[in-house]
Amino acid sequence: MIEKIKLQDPELAGFMKKELARQKFGLEMIPSENFVSETVLEALGSVLTNKYSEGYPKKRYYGGNEFIDEVEMLAIERAKKLFNVEHVNVQPYSGSPANLAVYLACCKPGDTIMGMNLPDGGHLTHGWKVSATGMFYNSVPYHVKSDGYIDFEEVKKLAREHRPKLIWCGATAYPREFPFEEFAEIADEVDAYFATDIAHIAGLVIGGVHKSPSEYAHIITTTTHKTLRGPRGGMIMVTKKGLLKDPELGMKIDRAIFPGLQGGPHDHKTAAIAVALGEAAKPEFKEYAAQIVMNCKSLGESLKKNGIKLVTGGTDNHLLLIDLTPFGKGKGIFVQEALDMAAITTNKNTIPADPSSAYYPSGIRLGTPALTSRNMKEPEMKTIGSWIAEIIKLVSDYELGDSKDERIENIEKFREEIAGHALLKEIREKVKELCKRFPLYDGMEY
């Protein structure tokens, strides 16, 4: 498959071969990652990458786009139908510029906006202080309660007090269903634009296992590479409700993407988005989406049975957030690295009211989209949950330390001591055998 790369650039080919092996023989459990189909890979590697297509279908600034127009319009029409929306822009390079375009379309610098606090599970682009969205706009974050659920009394209070121009609903580490109706009611009361970022749950929405925001929100943004199982791209959608609020909203969104933030779209990626949307329209995708959630619930029950604490006590969607504070603060880095050594890929993550920092958080975020793409089901989730619990307990006594020097020293000591540990070797072999039973890209070799 990469024969020409092997001949021309063997060094690069070697890295690609190792990465394919890592994916094939490890458990990818980061909830924002998935495995695309070989059809999506074909589109990404197609001749469409050669074209420059600044502008929009039938309104390009370059010649030779008659077939590119058809590709983009196909992706747009498929998205409109699947998400029940009136207007779609498929050109965002990823989710973050898609979200930034919403600000550009709806707000002026300095306007007040609201989004979920990042350490509580929110996203950088919903107004966090180190993001451009927190620098250029007056961000008033809302939080979750002690039980991990969104604090709607606070949301109402803040919205009434600050009268934001834009309210976000969406997150990167929130394991429960988003209550779109309650957000819509608040946004309508204060005359704010209501934007839902469904980057994580887009595939679940299409599959019918998470409610759709289309009748509640004015704007919907999403990435295309998570539960939607497409390429690494983004989309912005405007609903019927959005156009009733502002008939020019679709045009404003388009202008925000181009020429406001981006140049020409990545046409090969647009084609791959069209492929993924076509796949998501098939009946078997609903089965896939339902299995993601069933798998995540099963994984959560296995973890709890083995003595592991979960934020909110479980999940309604594709992800879980493990609370490691029963073992101490800042344990996320130890657990993530130990799991890596056992070929289980997750990510350290803050938990609500985290006693540590974002770089040394007290949680682990994990999910089931990629495992479900391999056709794993509840029995495998129970086994994987028990392995993860064993590894958490193995490293639970390691302490982070308070000073920078102490942390560096303690982490290095941990890496030296844990490397080659018998339990991690044993689980790694078990992981490899499990992955052989559920092959990925069967027959593909680099």
Q: Which residues are catalytic?
A: 52, 54, 197, 223, 226, 232
Q: What CA–CA distance (Å, rounded) separates 172 from 31? A: 9
For 85, half-sphere exposure in the C-beta direction (CA atoms, 13 angstrom radius) is 30
C-alpha angle with apex 101: 154 to 133, nearest 5 degrees?
45
Backbone phi, psi, residue 349, to 5°: -155, 145
- 91: closest CA among 115, 71, 63? 71
Q: What CA–CA distance (Å, rounded) separates 312 from 366? A: 14
Helix axes 378-395, 283-305, angle to 10 degrees: 40
Contacts of residue 236, defined as CB under 8 A and 6 or more positions apart, other chains included, come to 88, 89, 92, 98, 101, 102, 219, 220, 221, 253, 257
CA distances from 376 to 27, 281, 369, 422 (A): 11, 22, 10, 26
Q: Are 277 and 82 in contact (CB under 8 A)?
A: yes
- 198: closest CA among 185, 186, 209? 209
Cis amide bond preceding 247, omega within 30: no
Token pair for residue 335?
A: 């657990």
- 341: closest CA among 385, 307, 387? 387
Extended strands (E) in 95-151: 112-114, 138-139
Extended strands (E) in 110-165: 112-114, 138-139
Q: What CA–CA distance (Å, rounded) separates 68 from 74? A: 10
Q: Are 333 and 407 in contact (CB under 8 A)?
A: no
Task: Render 247-277 in DSSP notation, one character per residue.
Answer: TTHHHHHHHIIIIII-SS--HHHHHHHHHHH
Buried-exposed string 219-242: b where 16+ CB fall within 10 A, e elsewhere: bbbbbbbbbbbbbbbbbbbbbebb
